[in-house]
Amino acid sequence: MASIQPTHIPNLERPKKGFNQHAERLNGRLAMVGFAALIVIELLTGKGLLSLLGWA
């Protein structure tokens, strides 16, 4: 059985700065992790973030 191999290897270099798809995806993932962490902290302590920081 013959295997199918690509004839062209794409250039996978990512832009280093500015708004680009990689940066936006990374920011979105980090925001989701932070939001989930805040929910877990609130469930474990029974207090919100501002209460824990002494601002409320």
CA distance 1 to 38: 52
Average pLDDT per consecutive 10 residues, the chain (56 residues; last block may be shorter): 80 78 91 97 94 89
For residue 1, what pLDDT is reported? 67
pTM: 0.63
Is the dihedral angle over the CA atoms 10, 16, 21, 24 positive or is it negative?
Answer: positive
Place of tokens 């832009």: 15
For residue 25, what pLDDT is reported? 92
- Interior/surface letters 12-50, b for 16+ CB within 10 angstroms, e for the rest: eeeeeeeeeeeeeeeeeeeeeeeeeeeeeeeeeeeeeee
